[in-house]
Amino acid sequence: MCSLEVITEIFAFICFLLHIAALSSEHWLTNVNAHMGLWAGCHGTQCVLFGIQVPPYMQATRTLMLLALLAGSFSLFSITSIFFQCPLGCISKPRISTIFSTIAGLFVLISVCVFTSHMRPTDNSGWSLYVAWASIPLCLVTGGTALVLDTAMLD
């Protein structure tokens, strides 16, 4: 059972890192000499912060990615607390991690779908968008391993 706890912890940590990388980078869309993220756009070596004056789809993408990061951090915290014997109430810690990992994956799924639906045919996806897409199955795998861990702890 200890190895399952470690595997779940590693998955949750990688998922958390992928969320941070996707959210903070400026490579959601790329071009020959320009790239754009959720917070800034760069042309050559000059970057401009977007601020809050962005289209609604960009606001929705930002908000959902931030909520996914928050849910992922709750999942990571609940799995990490297994190793330190911290009480979190009457719900088991792996079950909390399962719930928040699944929620994080769904938030990222919705956010990248919203962002992708507003891309023009001439836009090229950047590595940040691919990282966001890659975090979705990893969040679901984290939730699945946490669920298996929860059932193993009940037995």
The whole-model pTM stands at: 0.90
Closest CA to 94 of 68, 66, 74: 74
Res 75 pLDDT > 90? yes
Closest CA to 64 of 26, 22, 93, 94: 22
pLDDT classification of 74: cutoffs 50, 70, 90:
very high
* CATH of residue 72: 1.20.140.150
Contact between 74 and 94 under an 8 Å Cβ cutoff? The reply is no
pLDDT tens for residues 83-100? 877 666 777 888 899 999
Q: What is the mean pLDDT of residues 60-89?
A: 88
Domain of residue 18, residue span:
2-154
Average pLDDT, the chain: 90
Q: For the chain, how many structural domains are there in total?
A: 1
Residues facing 30 on adjacent strands? 35, 124
| CA distances (Å), origin 120, targets 16, 29, 109, 115 | 29, 10, 19, 11
Residue 57 has a CB neighbour count (10 Å cut-off) of: 15
pLDDT classification of 2: cutoffs 50, 70, 90:
confident
pLDDT at residue 21 in the model? 94
